Amino acid sequence: MASLLYETLMEVIVSSNLDAKKVVVEEIVSKMREAKSVIFFDYIGINVEQATQMRKAFRENGVECKVYKNTLIKLAAKECGYDEKVNDVLSGSTAIAFGMNDPVAPAKVAAKCVEDFKKMELKAGVVDGEYYDKAMVEKLATIPSKEELIAKMLGSMMAPLSGMARVLNAIAESKGGAATEAAAE
């Protein structure tokens, strides 16, 4: 009787654990499909203070960062069609950064944390459905954000206008100065 009770209890535990894992896989799949970019990185070796700084940096940049078991990430990657390449980098401690709005932000923040903490390592990423290896993720991190590009473009557009305004102002001042001298005579 005790053996039957034990087996029944174990079936319930395994069943509920399997259901919980399915929910997590569905969550990962949903985020991977919604995200403009997904960056995988190794976070091993950072302390609690650094982990807190890292999470804060991701939050401030509109990036969601989560740690999942590699087996669950592999299942989600398979469902999204990324499994062949992503599975190769899913070993050790893996965190995922999901960029829902800006495809560059997760790579930028992760790369900055790698540089600052000297312990983390970028692994790979998926940007707009395309697989990026470590080198490509590092290059992606150097691309200016959308806001930076807009600011540069506006600055470039405004430079000729402000130059023309200075020239017109100088002409007006010189003519205004000549008119004032003529009136004084």
Q: pLDDT tens across 144-180, in order? A: 777 777 777 777 776 676 676 777 777 777 776 544 4
**Rg of the chain on CA atoms, in Å:** 28
- What DSSP string runs through 20-58? HHHHHHHHHHHHHHH-SEEEEEE-TT--HHHHHHHHHHH
Separation of alpha carbons 35 and 99, rounded Å: 5
Q: pLDDT tens across 62-97, in order? A: 999 999 999 899 989 988 888 778 888 888 888 999
Mean pLDDT of 23-30: 90
Record the pTM: 0.71
Residue 118: its pLDDT value, please?
Answer: 84
| Total Cβ atoms within 10 A of residue 72 | 16
Spatial contact of 94 and 73, defined as CB atoms under 8 Å apart: yes
CA atoms within a 13 Å half-sphere pointing along the CA-CB vector of 6 = 3
Spatial contact of 60 and 113, defined as CB atoms under 8 Å apart: no
